[in-house]
């Protein structure tokens, strides 16, 4: 069955509510653990149906934010999402207070109840209206960016369409592309400030309802972080400043010499004077190469990617009205993932394809986990699958880049390293934002610029008005839509670098552990999954040193 044939329907919310309330009553009156387990499993299937239809609605909206029907269906599921969460919370409370809890623990595992405890601490029915407001504001931001249209030399471009010009070999062209982006954000600056200000206030109110001092502890609970907290993350960011920032500075100095510039500006995105490597063809070409790549990587990846192609479970073309960025979603009742991206002819096409394929592959491998909460792990563990897949496919990059393969590998590794300080900057900024919920838009921008001095020293916006006043973060959708997510990419990147190191030493062993990690889904906490994968915790300072040294050695030996 192709995606276009997937059955879709709106949930009958009242019927759903009545059915689940009856199930909760039956659950509480059960006289055996077996009966309670059967009811839980029945509810799992109901959840899967709802999640599948909600995913289809959200995906169709992302594919065309201007389609009235897609907008309406997305709005419907966003509207009932918090109501469903309230009903789910009732069921969760019943499970947590079950007289057969010991039997349920034996059946579903300790991590199931760890997740339940975090949910019970982070949700109250009083939050429903605030959650609806938050959804509406996130959609407003997404629609604003998706609707961007800029005229450049007779072409109408969206934000994703600017990317190739931002990597053009001509410096003036790159600057013009950045000026267009800067102008778009400047023209919409007041809207962006208003939306974010409302989001911060809504999130702070949610925290107050639950008697938290601010949104930070609630944000961590929402991310299901059970084995580390804000203190560990703060220490982790310091390791990035200590070990990674100096390395990135050295790389940027080398780039400046290669390009022959006296000063490096934000629009100087090249690693090579003759230009960054590009895939040697468009969407169709890249999918064909990926099919070859995954057929050779393993039997599991061959079966998986053939399914993704044959069932049309990917949307990779960039077009007007399409939501920006890339993501992977899933349809649990159909046991299928879906890859969404916006190809633009840059090397990012290949990294986003392998990245999202890593998510999709994990989702497909863990589709038989017994609990819906186990289908996906927490986000930082999710990103291990995606970022590691980028490196596990290195041996096939010649299919995409031909004679420019070495350039791609160098840029990919150097760029992945350079991402770490930026990811830490985003996280540090968000902690400050939610510690200071009454800060003004201007104060937020000044704080961003101040933190840049620590994480990205020397960053120069030239005369780009909006960006140089501290607005760069407003193009980072995660800050608006998924608070505290961004550090997860960096935690996973340290794990992925370890897979990269292992792939050079023992490809078979690295792949075996990666596959085991994917199959485990979300059945364990982040740090337990890291152990399962045979890699070390990113919170271990020694790991930073090992990773930094290995990457520095490789980049030095393979300098182009």
CB 385 within 8 A of CB 489: no
Continuous segment of H or E residues that includes residue 323: none
* Rounded Cα–Cα distance for residues 185 and 148 (Å): 9
Phi, psi torsion values for 188, nearest 5 degrees = -105, 15
C-alpha distances in angstroms, 454 versus 105, 174, 424, 443? 46, 26, 10, 17
Q: What is the pLDDT of residues 454-478, one digit of tens each?
A: 999 999 999 999 999 999 999 999 9
Average pLDDT over residues 65-80: 95
Q: What pLDDT is attached to residue 160? A: 87
For the chain, what percent of residues have pLDDT higher than 90? Answer: 96
- The angle at the Cα of 536, spanning 514 to 354, to the nearest 5 degrees, equals 35
Residue 173 predicted with pLDDT over 70: yes
Sheet with 336-343, edge to edge strand ranges: 314-317, 336-343, 327-331
Residue 349 predicted with pLDDT over 90: yes
C-alpha distances in angstroms, 222 versus 261, 378, 413, 420, 463? 45, 10, 31, 23, 39
Average pLDDT over residues 538-555: 93
Average pLDDT over residues 104-133: 95
Q: 172: number of CA atoms within 13 Å, CB side? A: 0
Q: 481: number of CA atoms within 13 Å, CB side? A: 12
Average pLDDT over residues 238-260: 94
Return the structure tokens found at 371.
């609990």
Phi, psi torsion values for 156, nearest 5 degrees = -100, 120
Q: What is the pLDDT of residues 74-98, one digit of tens each?
A: 999 999 999 999 999 999 999 999 9
Close Cβ partners of 428 (under 8 Å, ≥ 6 residues apart): 237, 451, 454, 455
Residue 191 predicted with pLDDT over 70: yes
Residue at token pair 């890699």: 535
CB 65 within 8 A of CB 321: yes
* Rounded Cα–Cα distance for residues 237 and 443 (Å): 22
Average pLDDT over residues 279-283: 97
Average pLDDT over residues 3-24: 96
CB 275 within 8 A of CB 300: no
Residue 296 predicted with pLDDT over 70: yes
* Rounded Cα–Cα distance for residues 162 and 411 (Å): 20
* Rounded Cα–Cα distance for residues 289 and 283 (Å): 10
Residue 252 predicted with pLDDT over 90: yes
- The angle at the Cα of 219, spanning 215 to 224, to the nearest 5 degrees, equals 155
3-class state of residue 48 by DSSP? helix
Q: What pLDDT is attached to residue 560? A: 67
Q: What is the pLDDT of residues 426-443, one digit of tens each?
A: 999 999 999 999 999 999
The number of residues making up the chain comes to: 560
Close Cβ partners of 438 (under 8 Å, ≥ 6 residues apart): none
Number of other CB atoms surrounding residue 73 within 10 Å = 20
Q: What is the pLDDT of residues 303-326, one digit of tens each?
A: 999 999 999 999 999 998 999 889
H helices within 109-146, ranges in order? 110-122, 128-146
Average pLDDT over residues 195-209: 98
Q: What pLDDT is attached to residue 324? A: 86
Close Cβ partners of 468 (under 8 Å, ≥ 6 residues apart): 461, 462
DSSP 3-state helix, strand, coil percentages of the chain (rounded to 5)? 70, 5, 25
Q: What is the pLDDT of residues 131-161, one digit of tens each?
A: 999 999 999 999 999 899 999 989 999 998 9
Return the structure tokens found at 514.
């990666």
Q: What is the DSSP string of 273-290?
A: TT-----SS-HHHHHHHH
Q: What is the pLDDT of residues 500-539, one digit of tens each?
A: 999 999 999 999 999 999 999 999 999 999 999 999 999 9
Q: Each residue of 144-172: b (16+ CB within 10 Å) or e?
A: bbbebebeeeeeebbbbbbbbbbbbeeee
Residue at token pair 């009732």: 90
Average pLDDT over residues 340-350: 95
CB 36 within 8 A of CB 29: no
Q: 167: number of CA atoms within 13 Å, CB side? A: 17
Q: What is the pLDDT of residues 268-279, one digit of tens each?
A: 999 999 999 999
Q: Is 217 exposed, middle or buried (0-12, 13-18, 19+ CB in 10 A)?
A: middle
* Rounded Cα–Cα distance for residues 432 and 558 (Å): 39
H helices within 366-456, ranges in order? 379-392, 398-401, 405-435, 441-455
For the chain, what percent of residues have pLDDT higher than 70? Answer: 100
Q: Is 23 exposed, middle or buried (0-12, 13-18, 19+ CB in 10 A)?
A: middle
Binning pLDDT at 50, 70 and 90, where does residue 559 land? confident
Q: What pLDDT is attached to residue 97? A: 96
Average pLDDT over residues 383-404: 97
DSSP secondary structure code for residue 472 in this structure: G
Partnered with residue 282 across adjacent β-strands are none
Continuous segment of H or E residues that includes residue 314: strand 314-317
Q: Please state whether beta strands 314-317 and 336-343 pair in parallel, antiparallel, or not at all (unpaired).
A: parallel
* Rounded Cα–Cα distance for residues 182 and 184 (Å): 6
Per-residue HEC secondary structure of 476-530 comes to CHHHHHCCCCCHHHHHHHHHHHHHHHHHHHCHHHHHHHHHHHHHHCCCCCHHHHH
């Amino acid at each position: 069955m192709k995606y276009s044939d997937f059955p879709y329907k709106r949930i009958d919310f009242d019927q759903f509510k009545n059915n689940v309330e009856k199930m909760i009553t039956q659950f509480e009156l059960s006289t055996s653990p077996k009966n309670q387990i059967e009811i839980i499993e029945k509810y799992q299937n109901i959840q899967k149906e709802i999640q599948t239809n909600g995913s289809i609605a959200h995906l169709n909206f992302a594919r065309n934010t201007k389609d009235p029907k897609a907008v309406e269906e997305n709005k419907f599921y966003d509207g009932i999402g918090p109501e469903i969460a309230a009903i789910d919370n009732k069921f969760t409370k019943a499970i947590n207070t079950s007289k057969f809890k010991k039997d349920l623990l034996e059946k579903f595992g300790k991590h199931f109840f760890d997740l339940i405890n975090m949910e019970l601490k982070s949700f109250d029915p009083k939050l429903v209206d605030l959650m609806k407001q938050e959804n509406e504001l996130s959609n407003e931001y997404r629609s604003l960016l998706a609707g961007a249209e800029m005229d450049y030399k007779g072409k109408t471009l969206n934000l994703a369409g600017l990317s190739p010009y931002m990597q053009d070999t001509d410096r003036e062209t790159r600057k013009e592309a950045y000026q267009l982006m800067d102008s778009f954000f400047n023209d919409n600056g007041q809207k962006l400030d208003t939306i974010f200000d409302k989001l911060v206030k809504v999130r702070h109110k949610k925290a107050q309802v639950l008697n938290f001092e601010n949104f930070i502890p609630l944000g961590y609970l929402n991310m299901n972080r059970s084995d580390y907290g804000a203190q560990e993350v703060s220490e982790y960011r310091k390791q990035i400043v200590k070990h990674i920032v100096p390395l990135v500075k050295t790389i940027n100095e080398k780039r400046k010499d290669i390009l022959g510039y006296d000063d490096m500006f934000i629009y100087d995105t090249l690693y090579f004077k003759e230009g960054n490597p590009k895939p040697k063809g468009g969407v169709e070409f890249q999918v064909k190469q990926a099919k070859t790549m995954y057929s050779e990587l393993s039997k599991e990846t061959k079966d998986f990617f053939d399914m993704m192609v044959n069932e049309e479970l990917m949307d990779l073309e960039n077009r007007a009205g399409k939501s920006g960025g890339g993501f992977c979603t899933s349809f649990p009742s159909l046991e299928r993932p879906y890859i969404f991206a916006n190809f633009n002819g840059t090397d990012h096409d290949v990294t986003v394809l392998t990245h999202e394929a890593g998510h999709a592959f994990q989702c497909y491998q863990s589709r038989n986990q017994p609990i819906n909460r186990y289908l996906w792990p927490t986000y930082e563990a999710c990103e291990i699958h995606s970022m590691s897949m980028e490196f596990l496919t290195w041996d096939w990059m010649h299919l995409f880049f031909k004679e420019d393969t070495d350039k791609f590998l160098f840029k990919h590794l150097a760029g992945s390293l350079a991402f770490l300080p930026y990811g830490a900057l985003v996280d540090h900024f968000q902690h400050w934002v939610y510690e200071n919920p009454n800060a003004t838009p201007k104060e937020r921008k000044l704080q961003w610029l101040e933190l840049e001095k620590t994480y990205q020293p020397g960053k120069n916006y030239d005369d780009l008005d909006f960006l140089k006043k501290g607005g760069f973060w407003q193009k980072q959708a995660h800050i608006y839509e998924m608070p505290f997510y961004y550090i997860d990419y960096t935690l996973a990147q340290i794990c992925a670098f370890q897979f990269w190191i292992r792939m050079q030493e023992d490809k078979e062993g690295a792949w075996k552990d990666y596959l085991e990690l994917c199959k485990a889904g979300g059945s364990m906490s982040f740090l337990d999954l890291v152990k399962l994968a045979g890699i070390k915790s990113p919170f271990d300072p020694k790991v930073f040193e090992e990773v930094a040294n290995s990457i520095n050695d490789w980049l030095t030996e393979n300098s182009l």
